[in-house]
């Protein structure tokens, strides 16, 4: 899975858009992993993530409470959390490190920022997956704002039509940007979609429209 | 996915949830074009239908592939991993799949938002890669399971017309072959009717240097500022792996 890799995050310069994924390696440390991942879920829940889920079920914005998510989590659970605040991200990573549960942890986001945070809390990166961007028939792609929202769900479940409709409703004042961001998050089961960042993009789209009038 | 025509009121609320635009209104009722439906289940999962007219029908081979590749909750039983790909670099701190001196590639075909892709289009990329380079596709990737000849990157005939939201091609090569792979991919990109996103996996040296990044940048290739970083926190604990 590479669902957090190709996020378009440069609409606002160096954007604060981070994702944490925690999981077991199947056949290596999956036996009994469920309880460890539940502990990680609880630790992350206390550090003010903007979204949180087990991607085998869904998350806070797809209609589940933390208790329901925890009740569903097993050895194959994938904890996914989105952050737009570096302090909160740092705190989450620090707590996971201190808990020392032996699960794999991945952070998606700007490398410079992530490496800096890791250094501050005495950790080192092990492996990276770098994006070289998009190739092929780019005429098939939506505009950059829609793309910035849709790439927050790498599985493609936050659809182009849905985003365009919410953008339209936000521009016309039928929805606030915050409401729009939350509604868009409701189809991402992995907890990696950041509703706060989506709101910011919707706000920008509305202001741009007003400016053009 | 199917919409019960008796129950459907034609309210159109489900249409915008389909990532491949397979839902259309015919005779004032919503209908799912079965050729286009990628079986991702998004229209069903969001629970937007006021009359519960949307339901999952039982899938048979090769249509089952659509669901495995397109539904994020679906688990590929052979590996126990959910989604279209593998754990790739996410658990590399435990599995050591990508060693120093090696580079992994994850090529996400149909992503982002190209409106779905036929596996025939994905095969074009695999065939081209295999004709130019000695590629060993990841045996745990669902796509590799569909190859009748992995040495040539050839897929089984009966899966070529299957339509999915996206598919991931995964393999690894020695570090020095990394720019060559990108060149082949750049070349193919002009001959396909979809998009793909390239991911390059590399170990990080003790001093924070990323060897693959250095090589790619020397070739004039631009690496996006954000990506995935696997930390060094995991460890094997299953009895046979300690």
What Cα–Cα distance (Å) separates residue A94 from each residue in A14, A20, B67, B81, B174?
23, 12, 37, 27, 34
The stretches in chain B having pLDDT less than 50 are none
Q: Which of A12-16, A155-159, B2-6, B146-150 has the lowest mean pLDDT?
A: A12-16
Whole-complex ipTM = 0.94
Model confidence at A125: pLDDT above 90 = yes
Model confidence at A11: pLDDT above 90 = no
Cβ contact, residue pair A187, B42, below 8 Å: yes
Measured between CA atoms, the residue of chain B closest to residue A163 is: B16
Residue B169 is classified by DSSP as E
Residues A34-81 have pLDDT tens digits of 999 999 999 999 999 999 999 889 999 999 999 999 999 999 999 999
Measured between CA atoms, the residue of chain B closest to residue A153 is: B112
Please provide the average confidence, as pLDDT, over all residues in chain A. Answer: 92
**Full DSSP string of A100-116:** ----EEEEEEEHHHHHH
Nearest to B1 by CA among B82, B66, B72, B61: B66
- State what percent of residues in chain A have pLDDT above 90: 81
CA angle A66, B13, B58 (to 5 degrees): 75
Q: What is the pTM of this model?
A: 0.94
Cβ contact, residue pair B231, A125, below 8 Å: yes
What pLDDT, on the 0 to 100 scale, is given for residue B201?
97
Domains of chain A: 18-120 (3.30.70), 138-212 (no CATH)
Which of A1, A133, A186 comes nearest B197 by C-beta?
A: A133
Cβ contact, residue pair A127, B75, below 8 Å: no
Cβ contact, residue pair B168, A160, below 8 Å: no
Model confidence at A15: pLDDT above 80 = no
Model confidence at A9: pLDDT above 90 = no
Measured between CA atoms, the residue of chain B closest to residue A96 is: B233
The domain limits of chain B are 1-58, 82-224
Cβ contact, residue pair B225, A111, below 8 Å: yes
The domain B1-58 is placed in CATH, from the list 3.20.20.220, 3.30.70.20, 3.40.50.970, 3.40.640.10, at 3.30.70.20
Measured between CA atoms, the residue of chain A closest to residue B187 is: A136
Looking at the complex, does the CB of residue B220 fall below 8 Å from at least one CB of chain A? Answer: no
What pLDDT, on the 0 to 100 scale, is given for residue B169?
97
HSE-CB at B27 with a 13 A cutoff on CA atoms is 5
What pLDDT, on the 0 to 100 scale, is given for residue A14?
67
Contact residues, chain B, for A141 at CB < 8 Å: 112-114, 195
Contact residues, chain B, for A109 at CB < 8 Å: 226, 229
What pLDDT, on the 0 to 100 scale, is given for residue A4?
75
Measured between CA atoms, the residue of chain B closest to residue A119 is: B208
Give me the total of CB pairs closer than 8 Å, taking one residue from chain A and one from chain B: 307
Residues B142-191 have pLDDT tens digits of 999 999 999 999 999 999 999 999 999 999 999 999 999 999 999 999 99
Cβ contact, residue pair A30, B189, below 8 Å: no
Model confidence at A123: pLDDT above 70 = yes
- With b for 16 or more beta-carbon neighbours within 10 A and e for fewer, the A109-140 pattern comes to bbbebbbebbeeeebebbbbbbbbebbbbeee
């Amino acid at each position: 899975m590479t669902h957090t890799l190709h996020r378009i995050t440069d609409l606002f310069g160096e954007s604060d858009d981070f994702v944490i994924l925690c999981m077991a390696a199947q056949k290596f440390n999956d036996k009994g992993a469920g309880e460890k991942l539940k502990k990680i879920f609880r630790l992350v829940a206390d550090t003010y993530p903007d979204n949180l889920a087990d991607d085998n079920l869904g998350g806070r914005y797809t209609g589940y409470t933390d208790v329901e998510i925890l009740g569903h989590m097993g050895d194959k659970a994938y904890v996914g959390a989105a952050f737009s605040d570096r302090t909160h991200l740092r705190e989450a990573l620090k707590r996971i490190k201190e808990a020392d549960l032996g699960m794999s942890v991945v952070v998606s986001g700007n490398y410079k920022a992530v490496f800096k945070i890791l250094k501050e809390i005495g950790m080192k990166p092990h492996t990276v997956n770098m994006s070289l961007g998009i190739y092929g028939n780019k005429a098939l792609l939506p505009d950059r704002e829609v793309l910035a929202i849709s790439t927050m769900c790498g599985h493609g479940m936050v659809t182009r039509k849905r985003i365009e409709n919410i953008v339209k409703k936000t521009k016309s004042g039928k929805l606030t940007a915050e409401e729009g961001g939350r509604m868009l998050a409701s189809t991402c089961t992995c907890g990696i979609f950041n509703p706060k960042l989506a709101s910011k993009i919707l706000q920008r789209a509305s202001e741009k429209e007003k400016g053009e009038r | 996915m199917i919409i019960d025509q008796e129950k459907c009121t034609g309210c159109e609320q489900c249409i915008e949830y389909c990532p491949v635009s397979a839902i259309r209104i015919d005779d004032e009722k919503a209908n799912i074009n079965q050729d286009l439906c990628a079986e991702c289940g998004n229209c069903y999962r969001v629970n937007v239908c006021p009359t519960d007219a949307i339901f999952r029908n039982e899938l048979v081979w090769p249509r089952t592939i659509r669901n495995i590749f397109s539904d994020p909750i679906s688990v590929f039983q052979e590996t126990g991993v959910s989604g279209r790909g593998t754990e790739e670099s996410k658990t590399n701190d435990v599995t050591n799949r990508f060693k120093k001196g090696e580079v992994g590639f994850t090529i996400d075909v149909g992503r982002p938002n190209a409106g779905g892709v036929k596996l025939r289009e994905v095969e074009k990329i695999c065939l081209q890669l295999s004709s130019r380079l000695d590629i060993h596709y990841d045996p745990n990737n669902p796509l590799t399971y569909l190859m009748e000849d992995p040495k040539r990157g050839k897929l089984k005939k009966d899966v070529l017309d299957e339509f999915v939201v996206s598919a991931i091609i995964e393999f690894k090569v020695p570090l020095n072959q990394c720019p060559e792979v990108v060149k082949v991919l750049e070349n193919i990109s002009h001959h396909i009717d979809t998009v793909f996103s390239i991911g390059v996996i590399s170990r990080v040296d003790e001093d924070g240097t990323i060897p693959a990044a250095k090589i790619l940048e020397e070739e004039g290739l631009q690496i996006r500022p954000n990506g995935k970083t696997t930390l060094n926190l995991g460890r094997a604990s299953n009895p046979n792996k300690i």
